[in-house]
């Protein structure tokens, strides 16, 4: 066991999170078939897959680094960059798309200079797209820090994101909060 420890290069000394990844790798007997599962575990522990972390997984599973990187970039659920402090996810599924979610993405992208999947330079905001959130009746839907927002407009979402990033900023009064039972439901 100690030998294996000493073998790990590029390993942040004393970072207990690596030990947690190693525990999973030992449990699965260093099986190369477990690469995807190991990356999931590693991402759960670290929040994202850094190059160091992927190199560590490659070393432990005795896989070529390029293969680990290839798998990590193939699947959408793996993140290579740390997520920002705040998250904004815009649904671009069919119903939300028809209801204009692209213009919400466009507005946010232009305002914060982000493409979907990117994080602002100051690490404050991550913009993501998802399809589909399964709440098509509320289209277009966004998720701000885990909270679902229904019937969004580009301006409304921009304002909400602004408040999420800076709750004390002097912004215009919020438009009526749209709750699921705001009378827009089909009769």
Partner 1 sequence: MPDRRGVLELSLDGRRLNAREGQTVLQVAREHGVPIPTLCFLEGLSTWGSCRICMVEVGPQRVLRPACATPVVEDMEIRTESPRLRAHRRMILEMLFAEGNHVCAVCVANEHCELQSAAAQAGMDHVRLEYAAPQRTVDATHDRYVFDPNRCILCTRCVRVCDEVEGAHVWDIAGRGESAHLIADMNVSWGQAGSCTDCGKCVTVCPTGALFVRGTSTGEVRRAPDVVVRLTTARREHQWLPAGEGQ
State the residues that interact with partner 1 by CB under 8 A: 51, 54-55, 58, 64-70, 73-74
Q: Is the dihedral of CA 28, 30, 33, 39 positive or negative?
A: positive
In the bound complex, what is the minimum distance in angstroms from residue 178's beta carbon to partner 1? 35
Q: What is the chain's percent helix, strand, coil content, to nearest 5? A: 45, 10, 45
Residue number, 64 or 106, with CB nearest to partner 1: 64
Residue number, 67 or 94, with CB nearest to partner 1: 67
In the bound complex, what is the minimum distance in angstroms from residue 122's beta carbon to partner 1? 25
Residue number, 54 or 161, with CB nearest to partner 1: 54
Residue number, 130 or 150, with CB nearest to partner 1: 130
Residue number, 31 or 67, with CB nearest to partner 1: 67
Collapsing DSSP to helix, strand or coil, 87 comes out as strand
Strands 86-91 and 125-130: parallel
CB burial readout 5-36, b (16+ within 10 A) else e: eeeeeebeeeeeebeebbebbeebeeeeebbe
In the bound complex, what is the minimum distance in angstroms from residue 67's beta carbon to partner 1? 5
127 contacts 112 by C-beta, under 8 angstroms: yes
Residue number, 9 or 29, with CB nearest to partner 1: 9
What the block records as the tokens of 86 is: 């705040």
In the bound complex, what is the minimum distance in angstroms from residue 82's beta carbon to partner 1? 17
Q: Give the other-Cβ count within 10 Å of 64's Cβ.
A: 10
Distance CA 119, CA 37 (A): 25
In the bound complex, what is the minimum distance in angstroms from residue 173's beta carbon to partner 1? 42
In the bound complex, what is the minimum distance in angstroms from residue 145's beta carbon to partner 1? 28
């Amino acid at each position: 066991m100690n030998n294996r420890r000493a073998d790990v290069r590029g390993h942040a000394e004393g970072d207990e999170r690596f030990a947690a990844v190693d525990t999973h790798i030992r449990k699965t007997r260093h099986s190369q078939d477990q690469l995807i599962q190991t990356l999931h575990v590693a991402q759960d522990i670290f929040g994202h897959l850094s190059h160091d972390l992927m190199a560590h997984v490659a070393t432990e599973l005795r896989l070529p680094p390029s293969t680990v990187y290839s798998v990590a970039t193939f699947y959408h659920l793996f993140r290579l960059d740390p997520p920002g402090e705040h998250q904004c996810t815009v649904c671009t599924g069919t119903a939300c798309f028809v209801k204009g979610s692209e213009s919400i993405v466009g507005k946010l992208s232009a305002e914060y200079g982000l493409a979907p999947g990117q994080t602002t330079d100051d690490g404050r905001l991550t913009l993501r797209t998802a399809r589909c959130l399964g709440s098509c009746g509320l289209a277009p839907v966004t998720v701000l820090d885990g909270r679902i927002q229904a019937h969004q407009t580009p301006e409304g979402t921009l304002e909400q994101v602004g408040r999420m990033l800076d709750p004390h900023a002097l912004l215009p009064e919020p438009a009526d909060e749209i709750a699921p039972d705001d009378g827009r439901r089909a009769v």
